[in-house]
Structure 1
């Protein structure tokens, strides 16, 4: 079979992998994915074992899917724990499963990389690959339009919808221009929130990846890990991830530091590529009123406006984003379940869930803070 698993991305030259990746897909780059592996953020202890699938013909890699063998469902942002719980109650094995995705990053993008005909062959070979390798199922999350088209046979793949919130820069001249597009009540609320942060003596400094020292990366990691520890969880990423990524793709990294009297007190870590600003991680070491909204949202909006970026992808979940102008965006995932009884039960669930997600997105658009007469 031409399907070949790759358990360590560093074993494949970066140029060969990146030749399969469409432009402006930073989370799929060899630099990003290999940094997750080389930093120890992935591996046996994490429950994420790299298992990228390659399609080779005549010794040449024509297509690939970045993928992982999973023994849990954490860090995916397409929540199938309910399916796993139902399997456990019924005595059905749900793990190990295979996941095609970017770990810990709910970013929509290409998943079927490379030549389209070869990608189709890879998809068609997946069921046999699962059987031969003792995998219960395959899941491909946050797919782009090409993957949706190629996976669209719902007799084989089950289709799931989700909803995120993205902010669109409608050629705003500055942040005030954005505020002018809002209702009066929301305009006053946002101004008040920003004034409350400024009144605490907090200002902001932006830095690119190459500009941060190791001491500053220590602070970034301390903030990032604290967001997990205050919830009694362990952080997904290791400290080494940040330093390695700064070495491998510094041009994509943006970090905004919140400072009080010249001392760093909070940060937000983001990536940029093409016309998109990707807000990823945030954290603080002390509590300040309204600082989260300012650091994670308003600062990113201002940066996007100032640098001509069209879209601000702030990640999964959070209706509080909706109330600050982030618009609902439907996301797609696809699931192949080998067990017929589980498949039938999930299909009944997905029919209702898809309708519910569409209703929610429609209703959410009605509560966006924009003036109806705003262009």
Structure 2
């Protein structure tokens, strides 16, 4: 048996390792003195100061004026801070009906936001073009150039394998540009890191949402279609082709039968009930309201257009005590509890977060969902509604891009602003 070759610890390699260690500490801390960095890393004073000088030259770290301390003896301590504006990242959510772009600095602080409706797109190329427009707008708002962007996380409502390829086995998934990452990189120059939207949602929730500090976590995107992102022991579950967390199996689950999400079911169930003129509900008045100034005829109960009632109106009517709307919510809770139970049985998360645009309204379902769960599984998780709202995927996309920057920081060439 032959042993693996051992790489010699050259001075250059040690310097790089030490630079990564110091940058990791500074990127998550505030201002630190040389003494503080020595204590945090275990490196010698000479090494800390030498490597910090390297990081300052590269643009990753800035040195601040030494703080005044009249009681101190000798030279004042050098003070260092991570340069959060050394570059920027983008978080891009490309959904079925809308794209949202966040521009953030290297601490994840949002600098600009832009969006475009995708409801009228006819081809994948049209979708990519509108994403490009939203990116250009976000950069212009913040006065940032493409050359200052170090990476972009890009979420799509389709499975994405580890190489960044979109799976197109399903008709819905084929709506997305299969070469999306390549095309965005050609347009802008920065790496576009494609990932499934629910996977990014769980990253965002773990970073900035209800899932902070929870390493066994599932996020259930529950708007128009159900999809889930899964985290086990702090590690994102991906699957061989990016399909971990896909929920087409719900077609086989009794009491569910499809992947339709909370918003869609609420809307469709309300429409079915409103078609019966004998049912009295405040939803009827909401469905027949016309926009101010509109001359369109008021639809009758049998000619209500599909967009005449919204999920938000159903939840609002339920909150006001409407019995018909409350009945819809009860049926939604039973159905959603079955979906959550499947995740509890398959992956046993500590917490399931209901996310997406429907998250705030879905908070009304939580008591009924949790009550139902105990009858479906012996390991019921806690259930919460996301506080990130419809930004959950774009926030996760920012985190995805920051992960890339942190991993490749010492190989990235920073562009100094003019």
* TM-score, normalization by structure 2: 0.27
Higher-RCO chain (CA-CA 8 Å, sequence separation at least 6): 1
Of the two, which has the highest radius of gyration?
2
The structure with more strand, counted as a fraction of residues: 1
TM-score when normalising by structure 1: 0.29
